[in-house]
Amino acid sequence: MIDEIEYKDSSGAVASPLILPNSDIIVSTVKGNILSIAQKQVKWLFKLDSNDIPSVSLAADGNMNIYIITRAGKLYSLSKNGTLNWKKNYFNSIDKYDVFSELLTQDDGLIAAISNGEIVKIGIDGKLLWKLKSLLSPTKTFAADGNGNIYITLTNDEFGKTDSLLCISKSGNLVWKKGFENTRLIRTPVIFNKRIYLVGISISGEQKVSTLYSLDEKGNVIWKKELLLFARFISVDIDGKIYVTGYNSGIGEAMSGIFCFSADGKLQWKKYFEVIIPYVNDRNSTGVYFTKKDGTLYEVVGLENMPVLYLQPAVTSDPLIIFSGAEKLCFVSIDAPPFDKFLPW
């Protein structure tokens, strides 16, 4: 389903949409506007400072306060009604090549970080709670457990080095640190049922080898499994099954794959697709692939005839997958059964 939004700012999105508990959709545009949309109508608009736009996706806390961090390093807090709570800059210096991590909200504040190694926690009221400085770069996203501990992967941004996983308490104290020799950590770990699942990529001769790690809550390795792909993303379902996606990085037919493991590290199934994950913005191969829990592919929704989309969607509890338009103000929604949404009759 395509929803085109008629408004004075019809420009495309710079990040994935943010869905609030009341089903309002918050979108950030290339013109630096934050829009709240409900029933295809714009409820309110907030304008960021001149020539500034969000650097990463927006985030919200339990009270539906909305947080935006911009390329200039300004962190905004907006109420659910679009009024400014506060605006501050918490970073000492920002180079034009620095990259911000996604924001992580907790019950008492939010975590923000930048690739120069600065990591900060800010309270709901805008007060700086703590700041850490690392020689390595935080990766794009963070994770947290039920006790409020924060898990941050730090990387040299180079293969063959030793990257690290940190566990930090909600008060900013280091709980433990684990190094992974000859391993590059690209993504944040997934925390589930007192287990930490993490993917690292190491160099073995001329090959890049991906390894899936299972760690306990103290950072000890329980098991590890090598994967026959260049791992990109990892997730865990409600039953504790672990899914890793990636693509082949060697010579041969280009393809992507999904590996499914049980909680004790046993391979349940694997599935390959003749498409490369990092290049799905090629309009000839863009699509949403639906598989059953046993790996059976049962639906592919092609997006090649859709408007140009920002290809990081939001997923609601309905479940509903929502993409923002990248060139114009619109949304593309996919739900089950997805195929019906694109039939011309």
Mean pLDDT to the nearest integer, 74-82: 95
In the block, tokens 């309110």 appear at 44
Residue 344, pLDDT > 50, answer no
Dump strand ranges (E) for 99-182.
104-106, 109-113, 118-123, 128-133, 137-138, 143-144, 150-155, 163-168, 174-180
0.75 cut: is pTM over it?
yes
| Size of the chain, expressed as the number of residues it contains | 345
> Is residue 340 scored above 90 in pLDDT?
no
Q: What is the pLDDT of residue 184?
A: 94
Specify the residue for token string 């000859």.
182
Check whether the bond before 337 is cis (ω within 30° of 0). yes
Question: In the chain, what are the domains?
Answer: 136-274 (2.115.10.20)
Q: Could you give the CA distance from residue 278 to residue 1 in angstroms, rounded to a whole number?
A: 25
Rounded Cα–Cα distance for residues 345 and 340 (Å): 9
Tokens standing for residue 122: 């800010």
- The pLDDT tens digits for 101-147 are 999 999 999 999 999 999 999 999 999 999 999 999 999 999 999 99
pLDDT beyond 90 at 84: yes
Lowest mean pLDDT among 26-35, 86-95, 113-122, 332-341: 332-341
- For the chain, what is the mean pLDDT? 88
Residue type, 51: N
**Would you state the pLDDT for residue 342?**
45
Between 42-51, 150-159, 183-192, 309-318, the lowest mean confidence (pLDDT) is in 309-318
The Cα–Cα gap between 77 and 313 comes to: 22
- Which residue blocks in the chain are alpha helix, DSSP H? none
Distance CA 162, CA 4 (A): 47
Closest to 228 in 3D by CA, of 253, 256, 197, 205: 256
Tokens of 191: 């925390």
- What local confidence, expressed as pLDDT, does residue 336 receive? 62
Place of tokens 């120069």: 116
Q: What is the pLDDT of residue 290?
A: 81
Instruction: Please choose, from the candidates 325, 278, 298, 280, the residue with its C-alpha nearest in 3D space to the C-alpha of residue 13.
Output: 325
Per DSSP, the residues of 208-238 read EEEEEEEEETTS-EEEEEEESSEEEEEEE-T
Read off the pLDDT of residues 207-236 as tens digits, 9 standing for 90 and up: 888 999 999 999 999 999 998 888 888 999
| pLDDT tens per residue across span 261-272 | 999 999 999 988
| Cα three-residue angle 231-234-240, rounded to 5 degrees | 135
Which is higher by pLDDT, 1 or 315?
315
Query: Cα–Cα distance between 257 and 272 in angstroms, integer?
Result: 4
